[in-house]
Structure 1
């Protein structure tokens, strides 16, 4: 009988895992804070018209960043984490080279959009010129985070993200102290933070982004990038379309109101969802794999997967209800007291309900990812986007910004119902595989 691992060795391993999990969660908080700071500070420091233009530029910038993450970062996490040594280092080099090309192309596109933008009307893309010089470091930094996380070094990812956030904070503080707040200044501070973070990574790892091969990356990873990229495109098209529809059908003021309330109320919940899923998906994946094994152990694992999902749904339903009952009146009251965003106070209720629906969907999403139902997840997201944009457009046409917010809520409701239905379908098909002898007999019969 193999020796059982005892303390203090077991304590040491558990302590190491605990520190890594803590570093991973803290890293998510830091990078989310660095990205959301622009929107939050822009809403506080800028007039609403200029803040609306900033929010639109950020939406376009995040769209490009998330596409790069789908092609490089997400694939790096899924593939490089299986390797050590030179194979993993080769993937990292090729991923960085691909991100470099992505950043260069994006920068050229942003300059073209800036040059071609008429500068009139509600859709103003002139603020993109402040992001264009920093598209390369932003893409490279995102890829560097994925490299560290794939190598099971979230503490290193946290380190470069703290460099980003610290540099950005210093730049913003200088701007505030000199009383020169501007959309361009906030975007420049964001880009300087990314530049500092990726510089630390490249010096520490002794890598140059042009040492790899984008062609080799695409050739080696094309079997993974399909659903990742398709889902990311749909997700980011939805985010960008919301900004364009609100700015186009309503106004930049309305876009500023919507984005500010979403940043205060919805974005923290989205960050929480991302962090919680990173903890739930591995356990759901192990249960789904065990449930496919023959015998009583497989049956118990299938029951455990269903039971855990059911308990999580109940827990998140309670959390979501409590959040609505507390966040809705608090946010509404604070918005009214600020006067600047008093007219956005009616958005607090539909966005609070949207947050609750996002939380309620987490157990289903984690279970579906654990069962490797990527195609179903893509279908669910398409339903979410179609219903959200339809509700947004109809709501904005009939009831202005308040109607647009309730229209977005219909999309979240349809997304939850679709996800629950797909989960019920998928979990019923988690059955033990036939024993090896039976499979061998069937194969022999099929060849006879």
Structure 2
């Protein structure tokens, strides 16, 4: 399989990867943006909760399959990589089936009244299998350094979704359930194109073989994703429970407009950098000058990206924050959410600075360290959210989350510095000098 060669090939590689993330980000964020515009605030809050649960399931599957493909399969070519991809698809199929059953059970058993409304979840249930398969297909292409192919199936997803949303708006049938359904239909189209193009049948893979071969990564990635996604879910539930569904709608809308593009960029960069960092880390373990050079390359790559993203984060705060604040103030529907623009902009800047270090840690297979860092971040941010909500309402909650993000960055820097110091070929054990026995005269 041909790889990008030279500067021109590298530019195409990065360009396709960033464009791919832009497309999939548009497909994922369209529900929230359109829901905030087209739906009453109370119904938009219900849509936001259903999406939070859907993203929880999708990202848990990514932890078990997608993130492992990026960090592990990127080190292989040919049959070993194809075997990993096939077994990963089978695992994604199983997780989709289980998720469908769980969502149907939640819809049937959850109370229909109250602040926390999960009635819209039933619209996602039929589409969780293709959503899982599509997400795994993207990671397969990215791990194989083929972002142009990932871009192709994501364009199918986004294009299908756009056509169906246009029909919904034209016929005046916009609803929370309809937006969720067209999101799932887009994923179905994209996953179908991947399976036909690659001629892969998910049920032919071996989920147990996948779990056995990748448990040193998938276990820690999974538990980290569980903490991460329950952290995201806890934020939505805490805001809705302690404050109101309207506050949740305000909060999620500003996050979608201002923070989600940053998170999408972070995901794109991580997906592109992690496979490269993984190869450098594997080469760094080789003895001799080759290993030393690979270790130095990984350090240099991380340092340069961190400087670039720190500058980008500062620019974002200086430009995006006043623009978003101005637009919100001059809208009737979300004017009260304008003070959220500054803490959310600062939070996005922190995420940008952190992404090179996170990608390097993934590439070095430091899954346990990533888990420890996220636990600290989640505990501090949720505590800050709860205390801030009690003391200052929604605005206090946003500043409390910012404190958690800053704490997470500090922990990541400490862990990276400790890990990268040990990166490189193992030191050769000195051979003891042979001591000659004295000769008897």
TM-score relative to the length of structure 2: 0.89
- Helix, strand or coil at the partner of 1:187: helix
Deviation, 1:331, is 0.5
Aligned: 1:136 with 2:163: no
Structure 2 partner of 1:25: 18
Deviation, 1:265, is 0.5
Structure 2 partner of 1:255: 248
Deviation, 1:260, is 0.6
Aligned: 1:77 with 2:63: no
Structure 2 partner of 1:5: none
Q: 1:325 to 1:444 in 2, by over 3 A?
A: farther
Gaps of at least 5 residues in structure 2 are: 436-441
| Pairs within 5 Å for 1:318-357 | 318-357=311-350
How many angstroms apart in 2 are the aligned matches of 1:380 and 1:206? 39
How many angstroms apart in 1 are the aligned matches of 2:206 and 2:425? 42
| Pairs within 5 Å for 1:3-152 | 14-152=7-145
Deviation, 1:431, is 6.2
- Helix, strand or coil at the partner of 2:330: helix
Aligned: 1:170 with 2:181: no
Aligned: 1:420 with 2:413: yes
How many angstroms apart in 1 are the aligned matches of 2:403 and 2:194? 43
Q: 1:406 to 1:421 in 2, by over 3 A?
A: same
Aligned residues: 434
Worse-superposed segment, 335-344 or 306-315: 306-315
How many angstroms apart in 2 are the aligned matches of 1:141 and 1:444? 62
- Helix, strand or coil at the partner of 2:113: coil
Structure 2 partner of 1:382: 375
Q: 1:11 to 1:134 in 2, by over 3 A?
A: closer
How many angstroms apart in 1 are the aligned matches of 2:92 and 2:407? 35
- Helix, strand or coil at the partner of 1:338: coil
Q: 1:206 to 1:408 in 2, by over 3 A?
A: same
- 8 Å contact from structure 2 (residues 62, 136) kept in 1: yes
Aligned: 1:396 with 2:417: no
Deviations 1:285-342 (A, max 9, x none): 5666676677788777766665665554444333222211211111011111121111
How many angstroms apart in 1 are the aligned matches of 2:115 and 2:324? 27
Deviations 1:205-230 (A, max 9, x none): 33333233323332333233111112
